[in-house]
Structures are given as C-alpha cells and as structure tokens.
Amino acid sequence: MTYIEEIEERSLQDLIYLTEIPAPPFMEEERAEAYAEMLREAGADSVWIDGIGNVIALRRGISGERTVALDGHLDTVFPIETDVTVQFRGDTLYAPGIGDDTRGLIVVRNVLEAMVAADLRTEDDLLFIGTVGEEGLGDLRGVKYLFSEEGPGIDVFIAVDGGDETRIVHQAVGSYRYRVTFHGPGGHSWGAFGLANPHHAMAQAIAHFVPEADAFTRSGPRTSYSIGRVGGGTSVNSIPFESWFEVDMRSVDPGPLNELDAIFRDAMQRGLEEQNALRRRGEALTVDIDMVGNRPAGILDPTTDLVQRAMAAITLQDREPALGGGSTNANTPIAEGIPSITIGRGGDGGGAHSLDEWWLPVDPHLAVQNALLIALAEARLAAPGVTQN
C-alpha cells in the first residue's frame, strides 16, 4: 500500500498530461492512444483498443474463470476547442475535465501498477479499461459495447467516477433524452401571418408537459425532468421553419421513467395539434421526436457480495461508506443483472462539467487503495507464490 503513496507525485504529472489531451465524446482517439501506452508501461500482460475505441489492458488470473473490470472513462463534456491547460493556484489544479474523469483513469492505472510492483496475482482475470462515450450524447456507447456480443465477457464491473471515495453507487439512474423538432413552412411575420408557427407549437407542448411532469414527480421513486437546450428561428420578423429543444428525463426506476415518457409524448402531440388548429393557411406542422440518449435504470441489491466488499474496504480505512445512486457507466451492467458499482476517484474537487473544474490532491492514495482492495477481493487474490498454469 505504501507504493501507492510513493508514486503520487508522478501520478500528478500523468494526470496533467492526460488532462491536456482534449477528448470530447466521439473524439477520444488521441487520449486513448496515450492511455494505452500508460497501461503498457504499468505492466499489463496485453493492451488493445477495441472496435469502438475503448482501451483495455489485461492482467491474467491464475484460473481465468471470471473476468473483473475496473474502468474510468476517457471522454469529457468539453468541445475540442476548449482550453484544457492545467493551471495551479496554490496546491489546487484547475482545468476542464481534470477530475471528471481523468483522475479516474489515473486511479485505474495506479491499481494495475501497484499490483505489478507487488507481484499480486488473482484467480480471475482483471481488465483495466478506459471507456469512450460516457458523457452526454456519447450515451454510454463504450460500456454498451463492452457488454455486447463483441465485448470481452465481463462478470463484475467497477467504475471509477465521481469524487467521494467513500460513496458506492449501486443504484443506476436511468434516463431518456430527446431532441424534439417542430417543422413548418416558415415565412414573413407580417406577409405570411396565419401560417402555423413551430415556436408557438413548441411553447404549447412544453406548457402542457411541465405542470403534468411536476405533479407526477412529486411522489414515488425519485424522478426528474429538465429542458436543457432550445433553438430555432431565423430573425425576429420571420415565422420560423424549425423549432427544437432537448429534454432529459431521469429515474432510479424504469417504471416511472416510462410513465413520464408517456406524459411527455402526449404533451408534444397536444401542442402540435393545438397549433395546427389555429393556422389560417398553409401546410400543417409536423414534429420529430428523436431519442439521443437512453441510459438504463436498475438497482444492485446492497446485500450482494460486491457491495458488501466495497463497504468493507472503505470501513477498513476507518471511514463510513455511503450508498447512493447516479448515472454512470455502471448503469448498463446493473440493468443487465451483472454485479456493478461506481466508486470515487478521491482527493477533493468541484466544478465538474464547468470551465472552472478543480481538483486538490488531498490523500489521493486512499481512492487507489480502496479500488485495489475491492478489485483484489472481487477477483480473488491468489496465495503468494502461485503462478499461472
């Protein structure tokens, strides 16, 4: 365990190096190559980049009966042109993406390096992974690929994401995300007055949705909704030919999420029909409801071995574990009934998803030690001196 503390200064430099490689969803290639090289240098038995862009490093187990994965995600929410240069203010590091989830990648790498340095072997295979597409419109594409027919066959999945290393995410907050677009002929605000207006239809649809969604989400399992982006129109004196918005709906339970989805779709149809009924001339409006995100929901029973081992690892460090929910890479395997959790990357930090994101290396070794303990317990630490067949 002391080795993990000894390599923290070098780990800090590696964190800066990775952070300064931009990696928006669908543009993770350069960071993936750099991370793959880090895993090779850490001593993995083999390293490769799979068909969708995930970086995977294997440390073979003695028996290889099962496969346990430890994961951080490569992508950040920031556009490619964002300045991601790391700035120091005292001991605090500031840069977009430095915590979420670049530090998670370093935790994963450090666990592998510590195992190699101490010659720790497990009965089961261990995969150390950097996934693509966790954020936003990436829609968990990397982890979905891991658990598809093309994936490596993972039996247990541990994601490193989020700050607090005492927190264990075992509830997968599912979400539906849509881009809704109202289409119409468009025209001059005076000369073409009487045409159906896509902006008006969108406003009416949202006006129907919000109060009904508010009433629905006030009881039952925690469920949320938010209209995050709106757009469309040409000028103040034009009837728009297109209006669009994006909505995010979430729940820890797939049942309420589907019910909220039905409320949403009904509101969109009502807004469309009401605006079309008001038109005095021209073509009727149409609406497209395109799903741009689908994160499955589910709950891993807290009495399962994985959760109990994670709680024991945190307790061993004289800290209090906290169970909770979140929307992370663990969503996909949890929904498929595969034991999966998300644990924290440690240190202190804030401002995630903002240009002022920061991370402070306060006892950063604790998160690495925690991840190592959980991985060794889950992959079954082999007796000293036992070698592969």
Closest CA to 348 of 369, 367, 329: 367
Burial (CB count within 10 angstroms: exposed 0-12, middle 13-18, buried 19+), residue 177: buried
Residue 385: predicted pLDDT: 72
Residue 388: predicted pLDDT: 64
Same structural domain for residues 21 and 110?
yes
Contact present, 318 and 229 (Cβ < 8 Å)? no
User: Where is the domain boundary, 295, 322, 342?
Assistant: 295
Is 384 a member of any domain? no
Which long-range contacts (C-beta less than 8 Å, at least 24 apart) are formed by 258-265?
A: 259/216, 260/213, 260/216, 260/217, 260/223, 260/225, 261/176, 263/209, 263/212, 263/213, 263/216, 264/178, 264/209, 264/213, 264/225, 265/289
Is 388 a member of any domain? no
Same structural domain for residues 271 and 155?
no
Whole-number Cα distances in Å, 71 to 63, 232, 260, 313: 22, 39, 31, 18
- Residue 193 tokens read as 């007055």
Is 386 a member of any domain? no
User: Where is the domain boundary, 253, 272, 295?
Assistant: 295
Same structural domain for residues 143 and 14?
yes
How far is 295 from 291, CA to CA, in rounded Å? 11
CB atoms within 10 A of CB 229: 10
Quick one: DSSP state of residue 292? E
- In the chain, alpha helices (H): 2-6, 8-19, 29-42, 104-117, 141-146, 198-216, 254-278, 305-316, 331-335, 365-379
CA atoms within 13 A on the CB side of 278: 15
Range of the domain at 277: 174-295
Between strands 92-94 and 358-360, the pairing is antiparallel
Same structural domain for residues 286 and 316?
no
Same structural domain for residues 115 and 166?
yes
Same structural domain for residues 164 and 113?
yes
How far is 59 from 385, CA to CA, in rounded Å? 16
Is 132 a member of any domain? yes
Q: Which CATH number characterizes residue 131's domain? A: 3.40.630.10
Which long-range contacts (C-beta less than 8 Å, at least 24 apart) are formed by 356-360?
A: 356/94, 357/94, 357/95, 357/96, 357/97, 357/98, 357/99, 357/100, 358/92, 358/93, 358/94, 358/98, 358/99, 359/15, 359/92, 359/93, 359/98, 359/99, 359/103, 360/91, 360/92, 360/93
Same structural domain for residues 114 and 168?
yes
Same structural domain for residues 322 and 261?
no
Is 356 a member of any domain? yes
Structural domain count of the chain = 2
Per-residue pLDDT tens listing for the chain (389 residues):
789 999 999 999 999 999 999 999 999 999 999 999 999 999 999 999 999 999 999 999 999 999 999 999 999 999 999 999 999 999 999 999 999 999 999 999 999 999 999 999 999 999 999 999 999 889 999 999 999 999 999 999 999 999 999 999 999 999 999 999 999 999 999 999 999 999 999 999 999 999 999 999 999 999 999 999 999 999 999 999 999 999 999 999 999 999 999 999 999 999 999 999 999 999 999 999 999 999 999 999 999 999 999 999 999 999 999 999 999 999 999 999 999 999 999 999 999 999 999 999 999 999 999 999 999 999 999 988 766 65
Is 385 a member of any domain? no
Is 313 a member of any domain? yes
Q: Provide the residue type at 281 as one letter.
A: R
Same structural domain for residues 19 and 116?
yes
Same structural domain for residues 127 and 14?
yes
Is 389 a member of any domain? no
Q: Which CATH number characterizes residue 277's domain? A: 3.30.70.360
pTM for this entry: 0.91
Sheet holding 87-89, edge to edge: 87-89, 92-94, 358-360, 348-350
Q: Which residues pair with 287 in a beta bridge?
A: 182
User: Where is the domain boundary, 295, 311, 341?
Assistant: 295
Residue 297: predicted pLDDT: 95
Same structural domain for residues 267 and 244?
yes
Residue 266: predicted pLDDT: 99
Sheet holding 286-295, edge to edge: 223-232, 242-251, 174-183, 286-295
Same structural domain for residues 54 and 167?
yes
